[in-house]
Amino acid sequence: MNEKRTEQRLLMASLLFGLLLNYPILSIFNSNRLLFGLPQLYVYLFVTWGVLILLIYRIASNIQPPKDHSNE
Amino acid sequence: MSSGIVILVSLLYLAVLFGVAYWGEYRTRKGKSPVTNPYIYALSMAVYCTAWTFYGSVGRVVTNSIEFLSVYIGPTLAAPLWWILMRKIIRICKVQRITSISDFISSRYGKDISLGAVVAVVTILGIIPYISLQLKAITTSFATLTRAQQDSTFLGDLSLYIAVGLAFFTVLFGTRKLEATERHEGMVTAVAFESIIKLLAFLAAGVFVTYGVFDGFGDITLRASQLPSLNSLFSIPTNGGHSTWFWHTLLSFFAILFLPRQFQVSVVENVNEDHLRKGMWLFPLYLFIINIFVVPIAFGGTILLGSSTDADSYVLAIPLHFDQKILALFVYIGGFSAATSMIIVETIALSIMLTNSLVMPVLARNPQWLSSLNMARFVAQSRRLGIIMIILLAYLYYRYLGNIASLVSLGLVSFAAVSQFAPATLAGLFWKGATRRGALAGIIVGFVVWFYTLVFPTIVGGQQQISDILVHGPWGIEWLNPLSLFGFTEFDNLSHAVFWSLLLNTGAFVGVSLYTRQTSIEHNQAVLFVDIFKYSTVSESSIVWRGTAYIPDLSSLLAQFMGKTRAERVLSLYALRHGINSKNQQADPRLVNYAEKLLAGIVGAASARVMVASVSKEERISIEEMVDILKSSQEIMSINKELTRKSQQLEEATRQLKEANEQLQRADKLKDDFLSTVTHELRTPLTSIRALSEILHDNPDLERDEQEHFLNTIIRESERLSRLINQVLDLEKYESGKQSLRREEVLIDDIIQEVLESLRHLADEKKIRIQQTSDPYIPVIGADRDKLLQVVYNLVSNAIKYCPPQKGEINITTFHIESNAVVSVMDNGNGIAPEYQQLIFNRFYQAEAQSVRKPKGSGLGLAISKKIIELHGGKIWVESQVNKGAKFTFTLPTLPE
């Protein structure tokens, strides 16, 4: 896997979810309404957070184990 | 619950912890260190979750809704970047043997002592309140569990005991050996164990509340929506709430890297960069899981216990409320575990900074003290002292600056403190131009603003008179009001402080960096840091040190820290490995560099540098020279590569030249052969012409018949001669590519007919039968008519020549296949031996076998025919066996219909 591409994907994940998990997008869900019987803001946060973790997992799994650098 | 039981359980737990640590070190000695497991690494990072997570989050929900989550989302957003950032930092630390943040920053900016000291001071001042929090949490949870009175003296005494106990415990943990890498495998194993315990405890409480007391998340939500105080918490207040979320996220984004305990477990204790791959998502996953039940507990607590209990204690209070003693004890241990792991790791990390960046530099400046102390013992003792002192300070802070706000907000103040290192560190990783003075300016400015906006108000806030400052600003200067600098009132207190401190920090850092110059060593370090991935394999050769040092001096310096035998062994091993002659008294620069690195692992880079400098005489080296040296070591490597490539190319070229030479020689020989053949062929008719002419000349009165006969022969031979010469010229034209074709549409059968016409009499003379089978559907050929005639004429006349008389048979067949016309001329003559079948188309014969000469008389006809056919884009060849005749075939491409 191209190392540069991996780095770009990781950066993208960080930035994208930095946006999703912040205002103003957060303010869309910021109300007392319920979603699936739970406060919708909480649901949104946890679900998005979970997706981010999953995304990191996917990208990280594709990284080839690097060559062993002998510890000095 | 009786306090006796709680104390006993706590001590038991500490014993277990110690056992785990001991087991971890034991396994490491056996070579099966638990630390090599990536899951242990990821779990150790969970030391991020302290009593704040355990108790404080729940408390925060009640006042600020889900805002508490920002502190966990920040690290998750940072995690993807670890692969880029943290990997670089880890590599740098391994190569440069850096063991703390202060050492890192100091090292990056030229191994500067003052910078290291400033960072150490800022960190210690910023983290001590955080440690107090943990003490407070332990004390309060103890009190809650035992339902003791919560008066301050009792709690104060209790916290003292706890502090002392923990100090003792930490000292045992962290200062048992003096390794050059500051790895504490036992500690890491214990921390990983604690992470599991606190997770399980919290989950137990969570499950109990959500499913034991209530009927799931939905039920809690329902009940909560009926309480207006809780219902309003379903959303975040929008006044200032927007920015709060952002700033908290940003703070935790930095904290995950710059908190001393995080730096310790994720960078210093890292044994394999590859562990980051798992850590990047495992750690966020841990954060996710531990936070699932925070809100249910908070809501549940409010519903069940209302305001009679402090929300921070809900986790414990609810099980107690339902008389679940075992669960409560387990939860208590979970919180206890969270607090102790924080204290242990944080204090160890801080003590390393204290020793390396504050104590050792003083010692290094006064080398006469060096020899009078047993350095190894001294370093260990100062570490222990450091740990005790820090915990003591934390206790005093808790005891006397008692108006500690909630767990969460004070923790955030610590976050803000360590965030001041962000500009200098992060920029320093990528920007070579960042200077020491810039970093110093930035950090100092940031710290001052931090102190003024966050700490000062709390100190001053209690006293009525001086709290005037908080309303009107110092000396009535409104825009210097610590709570609203420059009149900025939009943010809440913390966000406001973070904004200004980071802004002014970064501004000062960048501004001063751009206007100051670097020393040569600064630049060297900058390059080594920013380009670490280029240099980590040639780290030994990127030495920029010139001077004189003697091996015995180096050896004795090292001996003070690691014992005489070990020091000598380590130095000679290095010399052996790198081919350095250690017989010389004078030390090779690489050896000096190595010694300095070893020392840096024990006392920090800045002190190590000073110490080594004191035993050697260093020559000043300018930046240009330094850059040159660095560049040249890079160049040497690339030149090497170039050289091997070039020599390979040279070999290839030589080989090709040799081949070409051989070919030329062969061609030359062939040319000679050709010349001799041709001259021979030319001479024969010339000889006859001359001979006959002489006869005619010498015998004027020959009979007319005879005269005519001779003249005819002369004419014939002249014709033959000119024909031969024409052929040679022709061939030359073909060879040199000067021959051109005049193409027209030609029917192959017509050609054959014409040739047969002109050769009929010859065939009849020898009584040879000629048969022609033709394909009526052969399409037209685009060819030069005359030349094609020449070819067919040549083939047929050859056939006639070689056919036996009387019983000779010649078959001429034509057909077409795909887009080619194929013509064959077959005779039943002597045939052609295989070794001649190629030869006959050549105008040469092979010189090697002199006996092999071209079959007589065939002249250059076949050679020319081949050239003509090939010029038309066709092929010509012969199939034959000796005494079984020969079949000549040629193909020509047909015109498309």
* Helix (H), strand (E), coil (C) string for B245-271: HHHHHHHHHHHHHHCHHHHHHHHHCCC
Q: Is the distance from CB of B563 to CB of B376 less than 8 angstroms? A: yes
Of A33, A34, A52, the CB nearest to B76: A52
Q: Report the pLDDT value the prediction gives residue B496, as an integer from 0 to 100.
A: 84
Distance from CA of B629 to the nearest CA of A (A): 23
Strand pairing class (B769-773; B809-817): parallel
Which residue among A14, A27, A50 sits closest to B77, beta carbon to beta carbon?
A: A14
The answer to whether A46 contacts chain B (CB < 8 Å) is yes
CA distance B14 to B16: 5
**Burial state string for B761-774 with b = 16 or more CB within 10 A and e = fewer than 16:** eebeeeebebeeeb
> Quick one: pLDDT at residue B148?
64
Find the closest chain A residue to B66 by CA distance: A42
Which of chain B's residues have a Cβ under 8 Å away from the Cβ of A42? 66, 234, 295
- What whole-number percentage of chain B has pLDDT above 70? 87
Please write the tens of the pLDDT for every residue from B367-418: 666 666 677 778 888 888 999 999 999 988 887 766 555 555 788 889 999 9
Computed over every residue of chain B, the mean pLDDT equals 83
3-state SS, one letter per residue, for B592-637: HHHHHHHHHHHHCHHHHHHHHHHCEEECCCCHHHHHHHHHHHHHHH
- Cβ <8 Å between A10 and B81: yes
At B288, the pLDDT band (50, 70, 90 cuts) reads very high
The model's pLDDT over B31-62, given as tens digits with 9 standing for 90+, comes to: 878 888 899 999 999 999 999 999 989 988 88
Whether residue A24 is preceded by a cis peptide bond, meaning omega within 30 degrees of 0, is yes
Shortest distance between the Cα of B406 and any Cα of chain A, in A, equals 23
Asked if the ipTM is above 0.95, the reply is: no
* pLDDT at residue B542 tops 90: no
Is there a contact between B84 and A11 if contact means CB atoms under 8 Å apart? yes
Segment B138-167 mean pLDDT: 78
Rg of chain B (C-alpha set): 50
B886 and B827 in contact (C-beta within 8 Å)? Answer: yes
Per the model's pLDDT, the better-predicted residue between B232 and B465 turns out to be B232
- CA distances B232 to A47, B125, B186, Å, are 21, 37, 47
Task: Report the distance separating Cα B131 and Cα B395, nearest Å.
Answer: 8
- The answer to whether B421 and B101 have CB atoms below 8 angstroms apart is yes
CA distance to partner chain B, nearest, from residue A34 (Å):
9
Choose the mutation target among A49, A59, A62, A63 for the interface with B, i.e. most B CBs under 10 Å.
A49
B809 phi, psi to nearest 5 deg: -135, 135
What pLDDT is attached to residue B294? 93
pLDDT, position B541: 44
CB contact under 8 Å between A37 and B222, yes or no, is: yes
**Better pLDDT: B461 or B772:** B772
pLDDT in tens, B621-630: 666 666 676 6
Give dist(CA B587, CA B66) in Å, integer: 62
Which pLDDT band, with edges at 50, 70 and 90, does B731 fall under? Answer: confident
Two structure tokens written together for B293 = 């039940």
Tell me how crowded residue B578 is: count the other CB atoms within 10 A of its CB.
Answer: 13
Q: What does the pLDDT read at residue B79?
A: 92
Q: Which of B69, B80, B222 sits opposite A10 (nearest CB)?
A: B80
